[in-house]
């Protein structure tokens, strides 16, 4: 006798015949098909409209969102995919986001900030109805099949939970890759459900159409590391699922080639061009590090203000009821003789065959979402409120992003009475979720934008809105109202020819300048200006491309990135390089009175010696040496493994000891 799961799959296979016949045209549809289809459509439109309005009201471009635009400026200027001209540093975590924005900027010729705003908004909003379509496809055969009694509504539940969160609407624009990540997740979800349905329906997977669909799925899954590195968890599990099911080895080979060509090709380019295995922010933030305590603080910072645990529990109850409904449907399927093959090979064949099923797709996707969330908890989360947990939450909610509410045509049978009870339960869950969403829609974090707090986590949008007095900061020019920015622009203009290192002062309207040594230069030439400041986006977008912009954290500055992570540092900002390193590396005059008074002349001398450490010199040459030749490419390809894990001591004195260098004599005896 078949198991309950097998019975359900048999029922769904039977129901799929109705689905296939329904595809012949909507003219053959009756109320059984139109009711869930129309309810899904109304729900998708309503959710999309509210999400669009909410995201537009909170539109902005984050300081971190401006970082990628500096790379676009260099691409259009012919300097290559770099943050600073002449330095091969990958300052953007999402490779795909960089080139998506580059493409649309090239096509439209629009202002970069508004291109980023609109592309992010369209991706974010489009992801929700697309995900709802995938989940509707998941439930469709069981809702419209010949075993269905009554009518079913498809109600948005997980979709409401997601769009009701203020940070979800904040990062629907922001210039960051969240929207692209959501759209990729939704697309992969739709393709996975379609792939599972073709298997359940017994479709001819060897047909050209079936193979093409499988390859499209493989290509999409293979994009994962280019969208965001941690999404490789979901993409990799999806590829594994597609690869192991019964099929020819030629098809498997095609899946590997289609999935791997682009990400592997780019990885080879990254290693040969940037001389590391990962984007520079991954090194700067030590993506393999562990800060569990901070991670759970980050989780509570996301869940607490919105009582998010309530709708999550409601979604879990809805999922459990849907599973109960599967069991009830299994009870009414006629038993068929089971095919018993007790040999190990037979059991393995049965197992891999059942991998191509909707239930397995749901299990893999939800597990991947949980692993992604756990990864961020281990990493310690982020300094931006809720940002990095939004995509894992979206992934976990996919199976209940819409939920079925079945109203039985009669209540005489046991199954019909259970369906009626389930309809009442599902309606109660949906209404409760809706009430929660209305109450949470306009929630603002306590002290948002005023105090970062001991946790180091901040409502990033509200922080900048408060500090600039602009409800919708979008352009780099808008950020000139942020403390220090206008004064920075003035300093750049003042020292643009003579050169120097511009350093932040404790006074929000002033900057210190460590000037470069004087001397006659060829006519028309100028010395380089370096700006050293934490807020990399607004700084770089308000500076000319011939101005070098670097940061203490190391997002765009490998020397800072290769220092060790501060255990008690603010999350996302736990690498802080002393300014003396920049003075030494840039060749600024190292003595007072030219050297700003708060810098230590001895530390500058030590940093200059520390920079002569052979491994450090090799690392600097790997991203600074010009031109980029085939020899340099091959050399960087080999060095990328070692450079990714290479670390230096933050204190120049300790770094000199680590490298076995000679300590320079002190100028000032202590």
Q: Residue 258: what pLDDT?
A: 96
Is 436 found in the same domain as 491? no
Is 395 found in the same domain as 497? no
Is 510 found in the same domain as 399? no
Please give the structure tokens belonging to residue 137: 């496809």
Last residue in a domain, options 384, 417, 441: 441
Q: How large is the angle between the packed helices 358-379 and 4-22, nearest 10 degrees?
A: 110
Residue 188 and residue 459 in contact, taking contact as beta carbons nearer than 8 Å = no
The torsion region of residue 496 among left (phi > 0), alpha (psi -120 to 50) and beta comes to alpha
Q: Residue 406: what pLDDT?
A: 84
Q: Does pLDDT of 622 surpass 60? A: yes
Phi/psi of residue 361, nearest 5 degrees: -60, -45
8 lies in some domain: no
164-178, 305-319, 413-427, 532-546: least confidently modelled range: 413-427
Binned at pLDDT 50, 70 and 90, residue 11 comes out as: very low
Owning domain of residue 113? 32-61+93-333+344-441
Is 515 strand, coil or helix? Answer: strand
Is 542 found in the same domain as 398? no
> Tens of pLDDT along 373-415?
999 999 999 999 999 999 999 999 999 999 998 887 776 677 6
Locate all alpha helices (DSSP H) within 223-357, ordered by sequence. Answer: 224-227, 232-244, 249-274, 280-284, 292-303, 309-331, 344-355
C-alpha separations of 559 from 512, 554, 665 in Å:
21, 7, 24
Q: Residue 567: what pLDDT?
A: 78
Distance CA 477, CA 101 (A): 19
Q: Residue 331: what pLDDT?
A: 47
**Nearest Cα residue to 43 out of 180, 158, 167, 138:** 158
Beta bridge partners of 404: 154
Binned at pLDDT 50, 70 and 90, residue 248 comes out as: confident
20 lies in some domain: no
Please give the structure tokens belonging to residue 314: 């409601």
Binned at pLDDT 50, 70 and 90, residue 341 comes out as: low
Q: Residue 557: what pLDDT?
A: 95
619 lies in some domain: yes
Q: Residue 2: what pLDDT?
A: 38
User: Residue 146: which residues within 8 A CB-CB, separation 6 or more?
Assistant: 14, 15, 18
- What mean pLDDT do residues 535-542 have? 95
> Tens of pLDDT along 218-247?
999 999 999 999 999 999 999 999 998 888
Binned at pLDDT 50, 70 and 90, residue 186 comes out as: very high
Is 635 found in the same domain as 526? yes
- What mean pLDDT do residues 191-199 have? 90
Residue 120 and residue 178 in contact, taking contact as beta carbons nearer than 8 Å = yes
Q: Residue 100: exposed, middle, or buried by beta-carbon count in 10 A (0-12, 13-18, 19+)?
A: buried
Binned at pLDDT 50, 70 and 90, residue 568 comes out as: confident
Instruction: Count how many domains the chain has.
Output: 2
User: Residue 262: which residues within 8 A CB-CB, separation 6 or more?
Assistant: 219, 222, 223, 226
Q: How large is the angle between the packed helices 344-355 and 232-244, nearest 10 degrees?
A: 130
Please give the structure tokens belonging to residue 69: 């635009």
Q: Residue 336: what pLDDT?
A: 41
Percent of the chain at pLDDT exceeding 70: 86
Is 547 found in the same domain as 407? no
Is 629 found in the same domain as 534? yes
Is 547 found in the same domain as 487? yes
196-200, 367-371, 463-467: least confidently modelled range: 196-200
162 lies in some domain: yes
- What mean pLDDT do residues 455-478 have? 91
Is 566 found in the same domain as 514? yes
392 lies in some domain: yes
Q: Residue 452: exposed, middle, or buried by beta-carbon count in 10 A (0-12, 13-18, 19+)?
A: middle
Please give the structure tokens belonging to residue 224: 């994962």
Phi/psi of residue 500, nearest 5 degrees: 155, 170
Distance CA 22, CA 82 (A): 52
Q: Residue 149: what pLDDT?
A: 57
> Tens of pLDDT along 123-160?
999 999 999 999 999 998 777 655 555 788 899 999 99
> Tens of pLDDT along 100-124?
999 999 999 999 999 999 999 999 9
Distance CA 307, CA 310 (A): 6
Last residue in a domain, options 441, 474, 500: 441
Is 498 found in the same domain as 418? no
Last residue in a domain, options 423, 441, 459: 441
Q: Does pLDDT of 658 surpass 50? A: yes
Phi/psi of residue 398, nearest 5 degrees: -55, -45
244-253, 435-444, 464-473: least confidently modelled range: 435-444
Q: Could you tell me whether strands 529-532 and 151-156 are parallel, antiparallel, or unpaired per DSSP bridges? A: unpaired
Binned at pLDDT 50, 70 and 90, residue 22 comes out as: very low
669 lies in some domain: no
177-186, 229-238, 428-437, 448-457: least confidently modelled range: 448-457
Q: Residue 667: what pLDDT?
A: 80
Q: Give me the chain's average pLDDT, please.
A: 87
Is 496 found in the same domain as 378? no
653 lies in some domain: yes
- What mean pLDDT do residues 541-567 have? 93
C-alpha separations of 492 from 184, 220, 510, 512, 536 in Å:
40, 44, 12, 11, 15
615 lies in some domain: yes
Q: Which helix (H) or strand (E) holds 383?
A: none
Binned at pLDDT 50, 70 and 90, residue 8 comes out as: very low
Is 542 found in the same domain as 420? no
Residue 127 and residue 396 in contact, taking contact as beta carbons nearer than 8 Å = no
**Nearest Cα residue to 186 out of 401, 403, 404, 387:** 401
User: Residue 510: which residues within 8 A CB-CB, separation 6 or more?
Assistant: 487
């Amino acid at each position: 006798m078949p198991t309950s799961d097998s019975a359900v799959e048999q029922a769904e296979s039977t129901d799929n015949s109705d689905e296939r016949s329904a595809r012949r045209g909507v003219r053959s549809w009756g109320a059984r098909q139109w009711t869930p289809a129309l309810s899904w459509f109304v729900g998708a439109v309503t959710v999309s409209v509210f999400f669009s309005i909410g995201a537009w009201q909170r539109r902005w471009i984050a300081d971190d969102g401006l970082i990628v635009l500096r790379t676009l400026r260099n691409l259009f200027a012919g300097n290559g995919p770099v943050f600073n001209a002449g330095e091969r540093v990958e300052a953007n975590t999402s490779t795909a986001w960089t080139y998506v924005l580059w493409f649309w900027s090239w096509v439209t010729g629009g202002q970069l900030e508004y291109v980023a705003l609109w592309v992010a908004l369209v991706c974010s909003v489009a992801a929700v109805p697309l995900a709802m379509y995938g989940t509707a496809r998941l439930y469709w055969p069981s809702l419209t099949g010949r075993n269905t009694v009554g009518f079913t509504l498809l109600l948005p539940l997980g979709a409401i939970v997601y769009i009701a969160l203020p940070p979800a609407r904040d990062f629907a624009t922001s210039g960051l890759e969240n929207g692209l990540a959501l759209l990729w997740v939704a697309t992969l979800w739709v393709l996975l459900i379609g792939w599972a349905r073709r298997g359940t329906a017994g479709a001819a997977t060897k047909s050209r159409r079936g193979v093409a669909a499988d390859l499209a799925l493989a290509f999409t899954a293979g994009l994962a590391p280019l969208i965001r590195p941690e999404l490789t968890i979901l993409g990799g599990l999806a590829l594994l699922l597609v690869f192991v099911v019964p099929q020819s080895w030629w098809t498997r080979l095609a899946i590997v080639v289609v999935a791997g060509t682009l990400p592997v090709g780019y990885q080879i380019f990254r290693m040969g061009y940037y001389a590391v295995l990962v984007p520079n922010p991954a090194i700067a933030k030590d993506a393999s590090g562990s800060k569990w305590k901070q991670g759970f603080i980050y989780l509570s910072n996301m869940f607490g203000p919105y009582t998010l645990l309530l709708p999550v529990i409601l979604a879990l109850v809805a999922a459990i009821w849907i599973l109960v409904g599967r069991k009830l449907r299994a009870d009414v399927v006629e038993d068929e003789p089971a095919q018993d093959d007790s040999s190990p090979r037979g059991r393995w064949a049965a197992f891999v065959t059942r991998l191509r099923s909707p239930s397995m797709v749901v299990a893999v996707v939800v597990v991947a979402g949980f692993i992604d969330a756990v990864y961020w908890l281990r990493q310690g989360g982020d300094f931006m409120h809720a940002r990095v947990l939004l995509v894992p939450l979206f992934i976990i909610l996919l199976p209940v992003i819409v939920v079925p509410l079945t109203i039985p045509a009669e209540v005489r049978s046991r199954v019909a009475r259970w369906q009626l009870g389930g309809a009442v339960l599902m309606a109660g869950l949906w209404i409760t979720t809706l009430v929660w969403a209305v109450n949470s829609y306009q929630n603002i974090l306590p002290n948002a934008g005023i105090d970062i707090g001991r946790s180091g986590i901040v409502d990033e949008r509200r922080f900048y809105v408060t500090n600039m007095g602009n409800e919708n900061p979008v352009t780099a020019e808008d950020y000139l109202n942020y403390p220090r920015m206008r004064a920075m622009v003035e300093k750049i203009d003042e020292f643009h020819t003579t050169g120097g290192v511009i350093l932040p002062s404790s006074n929000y309207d002033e900057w210190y300048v460590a000037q470069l040594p004087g001397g006659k230069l060829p006519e028309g030439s100028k010395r380089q200006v370096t700006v050293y400041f934490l807020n990399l986006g607004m700084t770089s977008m308000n500076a000319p491309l011939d101005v070098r912009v670097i940061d203490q954290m190391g997002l765009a500055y490998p020397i800072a990135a290769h220092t060790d992570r501060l255990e008690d540092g603010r999350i996302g900002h736990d690498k802080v390089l002393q300014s003396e390193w920049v003075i030494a590396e840039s060749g600024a005059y190292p003595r007072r009175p030219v050297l700003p008074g708060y810098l230590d002349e001895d530390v500058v001398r030590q940093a200059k010696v520390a920079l002569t450490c052979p491994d450090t010199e090799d690392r600097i040459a790997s991203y600074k040496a010009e031109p980029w030749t085939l020899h340099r490419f091959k050399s960087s390809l080999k060095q990328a493994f070692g450079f990714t894990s290479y670390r230096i001591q933050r204190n120049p004195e300790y770094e000199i000891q680590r490298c076995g260098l000679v300590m320079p004599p002190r100028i000032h005896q202590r």
